[in-house]
Structure 1
């Protein structure tokens, strides 16, 4: 394992096999060499798009009090008897339209696997076998609990937990951390842990966003009038209750605008995916793109900076529903700019964030 006495000069060779401590009695369990785990966490995905797979996934997701914070006495009857009776069918059709049929999984799963592989390669090149890199999902599989257990079995006495959400929200980063901490409650020998904070203003992340915009625009004959930065929405009251998500989204847009060297009127911030009767953060993307078209902005591009991977909200909601709203209002040219996914600049930015948060453990 890494020898801190060497002053951070790099990993030193270590045995990979579990061994019984030399001073221990013969019946003492074998202990694997100490390692550091890096556990990436994404939102989650259903195992398939059939009714029961969708129902299990939506039940777990919509039963999370970080996501829907109504009293369970009020919400659960509505969820079980109304929402989960109909919504799995509609959501299943939406997932089917974007499903990676060749791999038998959602695009989010495919992309997260690729991100993890590339990050693992980079970190193992730097630290060798002293680091274990894997991913988990807050909802669905692979579960956070199963991956924490695997890392413990591999000797990870330290785990860096990284929710892949650039902007912090109680509905995303916090619930991922909650689930991680609950998994730790079941470990007899808990590892030392750290959680990675939001990276909404990280220069590498902002630069990767800017590069993706520049590449997309370079391939267009007619440049968009406006770039719409569409973030996943949350109820408006979350902002007044102290959730910093809105402010961090607005700052990401501002930093992206400054990186691109644009004027204010070329970029705007909106929020999508409203659910339920409450007022959510505004302006709503689906309404704002229609308003832009009606005001004569016939060419727009949409990017989703809050999503580290393309998923149902981007591939289906933005590229189908929101596009349709724009075109029905008279819009002519709609460009969706994909999420950063496993782009080299994005991977580089994530690796730098990870290495910063590993200081003192491996560097």
Structure 2
């Protein structure tokens, strides 16, 4: 991360006791979903409590939901979720892969921005749930002299439970600032040409390393209740378009690529088809060699490294599947960083010019 703090100075003609003011700069604050601090019971419970108490994620009445969450779900789920995190944990750095990757993305964007704008820009990241909190990073940027902040939720598609709740938390953090910066938020970028190009290149690179081309590319997006779609959430439509644009860029037809949804939770109907069921159906119907990609995730995380690469893979193989290839998220791949930087610079237009 770029430490864009500089020696603060007292304004000209100011009184001797006037506080020093840092040099003005632009803040770019990346936001990812979040991660527990560790995979032990209490770390998992704190994280899951914050996540599952978000009304954007679970919109049931708190009078009904909170007793169930506190007395039932949070007594059991920290153990199972903790075991899943333990299976993918970055033990060397004592953090989850999502944290490691988000740091790497931030470092890459920092380098690109510093090369163009010098010390005019400060780049950092926060998490919607867990640490580092959005509030702490907004505070840090304001103290460093950021009079304008571009907030960048790392979600290609717009959804109430992802980018919207990240924005909510960002705006709540601003409520505590006496010197409130001017702000912008980045829009959904599922159809941005450079994002589609980066996604296509990742598929082409993965396929080039395989002896046999997969029978099907499964684009597995994080699921949500079908009710959210009917209430106006654009996520489902943007996922479908994302797959279509990727298909067109690859020059494929509908027999080579499909859209599915994973991570079903609770008893109500979610967006279909469910990935875990669909991959089994593919195997049973003769498609024994598939690849899976997760276009809704900017960074590999528990839903990709554990759910896709373990649970969903197991479902496919138990149904007779023979070759399962997981194509990693774009993470800090150069084409992904280039796409993100292009979107960031577009949204910063009028704020600054290259150094």
- Tell me the TM-score normalized by structure 2: 0.98
In the aligned structure 2, how far is the partner of 1:66 from the partner of 1:323? 30
User: 1:22: which partner in 2?
Assistant: 12
Matches within 5 A, 1:243-254: 243-254=233-244
User: 2:72: which partner in 1?
Assistant: 82
* Contact 2:5/2:144 (<8 A) preserved: no
1:270 corresponds to 2:260:
yes
In the aligned structure 2, how far is the partner of 1:212 from the partner of 1:22? 53
1:222 corresponds to 2:209:
no
Q: 1:120 aligns with which of 110, 126, 149?
A: 110
1:343 corresponds to 2:333:
yes
In the aligned structure 2, how far is the partner of 1:278 from the partner of 1:19? 58
Matches within 5 A, 1:266-345: 266-345=256-335
Per-residue deviation, 1:228: 0.1
SS at match of 1:56: helix
Per-residue deviation, 1:16: 3.0
1:234 corresponds to 2:227:
no
SS at match of 1:84: helix
Q: More deviation in 177-186 or 22-31? A: 22-31
SS at match of 2:34: strand
Per-residue deviation, 1:23: 1.6
1:107 corresponds to 2:94:
no
Q: Could you list the runs of 5+ residues in structure 2 that have no partner in the other structure?
A: none
Matches within 5 A, 1:111-190: 111-190=101-180
Q: Could you list the runs of 5+ residues in structure 1 that have no partner in the other structure?
A: 1-13
In the aligned structure 2, how far is the partner of 1:15 from the partner of 1:166? 30
SS at match of 1:49: coil
SS at match of 2:329: coil
User: 1:6: which partner in 2?
Assistant: none
Q: 1:202 aligns with which of 182, 186, 192?
A: 192
In the aligned structure 2, how far is the partner of 1:318 from the partner of 1:303? 9
In the aligned structure 2, how far is the partner of 1:346 from the partner of 1:314? 17
* Contact 2:45/2:78 (<8 A) preserved: yes
For the aligned residue pairs, the C-alpha RMSD in angstroms reads 0.9
- Tell me the TM-score normalized by structure 1: 0.96
* Contact 2:25/2:121 (<8 A) preserved: yes
Per-residue deviation, 1:225: 0.2
User: 1:98: which partner in 2?
Assistant: 88
User: 2:246: which partner in 1?
Assistant: 256
* Contact 2:6/2:144 (<8 A) preserved: no
Q: More deviation in 21-30 or 209-218? A: 21-30
In the aligned structure 1, how far is the partner of 2:93 from the partner of 2:322? 34
In the aligned structure 2, how far is the partner of 1:87 from the partner of 1:163? 27
